[in-house]
Structure 1
Amino acid sequence: MQPLVLLSNKLSLFIEINGYFNNQGWFIRNVTDPNEVEKLVENEDVAGLLWDSSITSMSQSLKILKSLRSKISGPIIVLAPAKDKKRRSLFYNINIDSFITRPFEYPELVAKVKQLFWVYDRFSITNDLKKSKKQEYRTETVKYNDIVIDFKHYRVTHRGYDIGLTPKEFSLFWYLVQHRGKVLSRDQLLEGVWGYDSAGSSRTVDIHISHLRDKLAEKSETKNCIKTVRGFGYVLDNQYPFENFNNKLATWTK
């Protein structure tokens, strides 16, 4: 069973979290050194991360979590002192899943983590691929222009180099590729990628599109492929051929 990792050097916090999460069937692995979290994630699969930001500087937390985001396919939750509340946007900008300030109720923390895992499980790329009625795959990689989408490792690469998409950015890019040439509203993207109808959350889509564009432009020749349709949404350029890496792509229904 993949553990939930808790970064904290506070024994009382570990005891409380360990007790509540164990009762829900989760194993908590406590790490006291933030640098050790990086080593752990490099060598082992983890289910998710609880990060006590009070034991690190803000810059250190942001630097390490930004690196970890592309390596952890589950939720990342930051536990922070109340004084850091005004700076939570910095953490959301690096695509953490939740920012919780102390004091908090432990049952509420457990409920939040359960909800995040429900979202990840229900709308994971694996489930999307299994349920999709539009294609049958004969390969684990497909290609869009100079970009390779790797479903085995859930990453997008350019000339063999991972361009560093988060799990949600991966989902968003793949959804756009599936519907390339079709203008998609923000609500359609919310429902198709996030899996829910969330009125007033179109900013979420805009932020993820912006991050996705930046990474594609920095690492790939596929620049400006995501077009903005003013007042409506976005469309992925259909000029590039879509094929599997070995020219064995399965049939698509039109």
Structure 2
Amino acid sequence: MKSKILVVDDDPSMLILIEYNLRLAGYEVLCVSDGESVFEVLTKFRPDAIVLDRMLPQTNGLDVCRRLRTQHNMVPIIMLTAMHEVSERIVGLDNGADDYMTKPFSPQELISRIRSLMRRVQTLPSDAEGTIYEIGGLTVIEKQREVLLNGRSIDLTPKEFELLVFLCRHRGKVLSRQQLLHGVWDYHFLGDTRIVDVHISHLRDKLEKNARSPEFIVTIRNVGYKLADTVKQCLAASTIYPQQA
């Protein structure tokens, strides 16, 4: 079955370009030209990923992204923007996008990023099928893509979840921003590592009681981040959650 991509852009030529290349790459594609149409087609089309332009008539891309996340829809989103300032692109990440690309861009790079994003959402390494990570009141269950904090379910975007899992797999080890970019995003952002800081900030907002004194994600000044090394890894999920065996 073909993966489904929803493309949202009010530029007809851009829609034609993206649709042509995505179909050529084997995807099923639906194109819409405004933000409100996204919510009209979501239930019926059920996209595996969304390519979303930031500047749209009526409901802009930021509003669309924010509404999707508020509705607990965690479909992977790649945001397109004509704004080259890093601060402007980070606004998209702040509103729930998993990745961003600046126009003009290569269709081949867009396809590569879609594949990378979807691959990490849809697959797990064979040795992680039953892996559960625990630290304090935080529980990360890879197979179910579930995060619990003191027994309460926490909604994370796909990239936030992948970043947290990557930190769990390397618990206690200091990871540079470049290592996190390469390990979680599969490519380098031409030296722009602030995408990591944005996602770390989002994780802390959702997981930490006090961001200034983090319990889980520790900042190593001038280096990067690490997950506190008191994480307990349990390879057999059934030993903790028998009902999931």
TM-score (normalizing by structure 1): 0.69
Distance between the aligned counterparts of 1:41 and 1:144, measured in 2?
36
1:48 match? 49
Contact 1:213 1:226 in 2 (8 A): yes
Letter in 2 for 1:3: K
Contact 1:6-1:14 within 8 A present in 2 as well: yes
Partner of 2:202: 211
**SS in structure 2 opposite 1:55?**
coil
Residue in 2 that maps onto 1:179: 170
- Counterpart for residue 3 of structure 1: 4
- 8 Å contact kept, 1:154–1:170: yes
AA matched with 1:129: P
Structure 2: how far apart are the matches of 1:47 and 1:100? 22
TM-aligned CA deviation for residue 147 of structure 1 = 2.7
By how many angstroms is 1:64 displaced? 2.3
Counterpart of 1:238 in structure 2 is 229
Provide the residue aligned with 2:125 in structure 1.
129
Aligned length: 232
For 1:162 and 1:55, how far apart are their aligned partners in 2? 33
* TM superposition shift of 1:32: 4.8
CA deviation string 1:150-186 (max 9, x = no partner): 4345342336654232222211111211222223333
Q: CA–CA distance in 2 between the matches of 1:109 and 1:197?
A: 15
How far 1:116 sits from its partner (Å)? Answer: 0.6
1: CA distance, partners of 2:122 / 2:19: 29
Q: 1:200 and 1:88, CA in 2 relative to 1: closer, same or farther beyond 3 A?
A: closer
Counterparts in 2 of 1:113 and 1:47: CA distance versus 1, 3 Å:
farther
- Give matches, 1:1-254, under 5 Å: 1-8=2-9, 14-32=15-33, 34-38=35-39, 40-41=41-42, 45-57=46-58, 60-68=60-68, 71-78=73-80, 80=81, 87-94=88-95, 95-101=97-103, 104=104, 108-120=105-117, 124=120, 127=123, 129-130=125-126, 135=127, 137=129, 139=130, 142-158=133-149, 161-196=152-187, 200-217=191-208, 223-243=214-234, 246-248=238-240
Please state how far the C-alpha of 1:5 moved relative to its aligned partner.
Answer: 0.8
1:10 and 1:186 map into 2 onto residues whose CA distance is: 35
Distance of 1:197 and 1:33 partners within structure 2: 31
What's the RMSD between the two structures over aligned residues? 3.7
CA distance in 2, matches of 1:42, 1:198: 33
Opposite residue 73 of structure 2, the aligned amino acid is: K
Note the C-alpha offset of 1:7: 2.6
Q: Which runs of 5 or more structure 2 residues have no equivalent in the other structure?
A: none
3-state SS in 2 of match to 1:182: coil
- 8 Å CA contact 1:145–1:242 kept in 2: the answer is no
The AA in structure 1 aligned to 2:4 is P
Q: Find the aligned partners of 2:142 and 2:231 in 1 and give their Cα distance.
A: 20
Matches of 2:53 and 2:178, distance apart in 1: 34
What residue identity is the alignment partner of 1:68? L
